[in-house]
Amino acid sequence: MIYVGMDLHQKTTTWLAIDDAGARVGGGVVASTERGWGEVVSAWPVAEVRVAVETGTVTWWVVSVLRELGIEPTVVDARRFKLIAQSRKKSDRRDARTLAEALRAGLAEQCTVVVPSERARRGRALLQARQTIVRQGTGSRNAIKGLLRSIGVAARRTVWSSPAAFEDLLRHPAIPAWLATLLRSHYAVWSATQEQRHALDEQIEEELGCWPDATHLLEIPGFGPLVTLAVASAIDSPKRFRRGRQAASYTGLVPTVRDSGESTRRGGITHEGRSLLRHALIQAAHSALRSRSLTPGLRAWTHRLAARRGRQIAVAALGRKLMVLSHHMLSTGVVYQSNYGAASKAA
């Protein structure tokens, strides 16, 4: 068997191949293109080649290329692959060799990531685009508020209702002409982001049409199209996680644990996994607490936890429960039950 480690970059890919004995049998630098990656594996029969790559911006592209060639690559989580991340002698060639040796020794499989489906990648990209647009709009809006505060002018909520309302604000006698020009520039950016956000919201609703197996998640309190797509595209296939607790752990909403000797300490949430999914579940939990459709048992459980640990921890725990519920509904096809959480054993 030939084990190939590929260190991927935008323009070039450094690779190294070793055999079963660990001896170097090939290596070099190729262009990060379909032709370049094809040249790497063309020297050996497809059935005798195994390839390891790290997660990155071009990872799913190279995965698609290698699959077309008949090779199923091993994708390693770069953050979890400590052999590379903590190396003091770091170079592209060393990284490629480390990947190849880890693949030969069976270590690479311990920190692999699941290759998402095309619809999952499409859904995640759509949600990421929306998040970027929202951040840009928030930045422009905060810039406007900051400039106004610097001259003692407060912006009321009605200012954002229409361009005419914003122009009325600019007629304030304390706003000089030069500052009004800057404010109009920030407002133009904010207004454009709002239009794009609405357009992306429509695309998200359309994208849910590609997830007929997940539309019943909309029945969960706090779940709109955005949260539903975030959860569905993150789970991708329910078989990916054997239990709901594993899906909850993937969100990063589980507490850290330090178990040493006879003492066990629990800390804050791990923050592992996709931050966009975690934020979506937190928003869903806040919304669920305001919803009348949240089951009494789950609401009572959340309030008891809030009284003991604080509202922030309780909301995070509720978001974790909603993820467990989502995985259960996707796995079984059941609908949202009115008695869910009655025994407080769902998470």
Distance of CA 239 to the CA centre of its chain: 19
> pLDDT per residue over 36-70, tens digit each?
999 999 999 999 999 999 998 899 999 999 999 99
In a domain, 347, yes or no: no
Let me know whether 44 and 17 are in one domain: yes
pLDDT in tens, 118-146: 999 999 999 999 999 999 999 999 999 99
Whole domain around residue 102: which residue ranges? 2-111
Angle, alpha carbons 196-197-202 (nearest 5°): 95
Cα gap 21→23, rounded to integer Å: 6
How far is residue 71's CA from residue 237's CA, in Å, rounded to a whole number? 22
- Report if residue 342 sits inside a domain: no
Task: Tell me what pLDDT residue 79 has.
Answer: 77
For the segment 21-44, the average pLDDT, to the nearest whole number, is 94
pLDDT of 315-329, one tens digit each? Answer: 999 999 999 999 999
Among 77, 111, 145, which residue terminates a domain?
111
pLDDT beyond 50 at 295 = yes
Q: What SS3 state is found at 5?
A: strand
* Region of poorest pLDDT, from 45-59, 256-270, 292-306: 256-270
Domain count for the chain: 3
Average pLDDT, the chain: 89
The answer to whether residues 208 and 229 touch, using CB atoms and an 8 Å cutoff, is yes
Cα separation, 273 vs 143, whole angstroms:
31
Residue 59 lies in a domain: yes
**Residue 336, pLDDT score:** 87
The answer, yes or no, to whether residue 344 has pLDDT greater than 60, is: no
Q: Is the pLDDT of residue 273 over 80?
A: no
Say yes or no: 220 and 324 in one domain.
Answer: yes
Answer yes or no: do 85 and 175 share one domain. no
240: confidence class by pLDDT, cuts 50, 70, 90: confident
One domain for residues 102 and 130: no
Helical ranges in 79-117 per DSSP H: 82-85, 92-105
Residues 221, 327, single domain; the answer is yes
Summarize pLDDT for 275-288 with one digit per residue, the tens.
Answer: 899 999 999 999 99
Distance of CA 164 to the CA centre of its chain: 38
The owner of tokens 């975030």 is: 230
Tens digits of per-residue pLDDT, 160-212? 999 999 999 999 999 999 999 999 999 999 999 999 999 999 999 999 999 99
Closest CA to 272 of 254, 295, 294: 254
- Does position 3 have pLDDT exceeding 80, yes or no? yes
Among residues 82, 111, 140, which one ends one of the domains? 111
Q: How far apart are the first and last CA of the chain?
A: 43
Q: Are residues 206 and 260 in the same domain?
A: no
CATH number for position 43: 3.30.420.140
Q: Are residues 107 and 131 in the same domain?
A: no
d(CA 85, CA 111): 13
Is 343 a domain residue?
A: no
Q: 234 and 192, same structural domain?
A: no
- Which segment, 95-99, 125-129, 250-254, 329-333, is predicted with the most confidence on average? 125-129
Closest CA to 37 of 20, 49, 22, 25: 49
Cα separation, 169 vs 163, in Å, equals: 10
Position 345 pLDDT exceeds 50: no
pLDDT band of residue 30 (cuts 50, 70, 90) is very high
Task: Map residue 31 onto helix, strand or coil.
Answer: strand
Q: Helices 118-149 and 177-207: crossing angle, nearest 10°?
A: 160
Q: Which of 111, 135, 156 is the last residue of a domain?
A: 111
pLDDT at 86 (0 to 100):
61
Higher pLDDT, 260 or 247: 247
Bridge partners, 28 (sequence order): 15
**222 and 176 share one domain:** no
**Same domain flag for 179 and 239:** no
Per-residue DSSP letter, 239: G
More confident residue, 15 or 267: 15
Residue 169's Cα: distance from chain center in Å? 39
Looking at per-residue pLDDT, the higher value among 110 and 314 belongs to 314
Would you list the DSSP string of 142-183? HHHHHHHHTTT-PPPGGGGG-HHHHHHHHT-TTS-HHHHHHH
- CA distance readout (Å), 181 to 156, 165, 176: 19, 16, 9
Is residue 150 situated within a structural domain?
A: yes
Would residue 341 count as lying in a domain? no
| % residues pLDDT > 70 (the chain) | 91
CA 215 – CA 224 distance, rounded (Å): 10
CB atoms under 10 Å from CB of 229, counted, come to: 28
Q: Are residues 122 and 164 in the same domain?
A: yes
Do 92 and 57 lie in a common domain? yes
What pLDDT was estimated at residue 111? 84
Give pLDDT, residue 244: 86
Residue-level pLDDT at 91: 82
Beta bridge partners of 6: 15, 53
Angle value at C-alpha 55, between 86 and 62, nearest 5 degrees: 135
For the residues 63-81, what does the mean pLDDT come to? 90
Q: Quick check: 104 and 18 in contact, CB under 8 A?
A: yes
Model confidence band, residue 347 (pLDDT cutoffs 50, 70, 90): very low
| Beta strand segments in the chain, E | 2-8, 12-18, 24-31, 49-54, 74-76, 255-260, 263-269
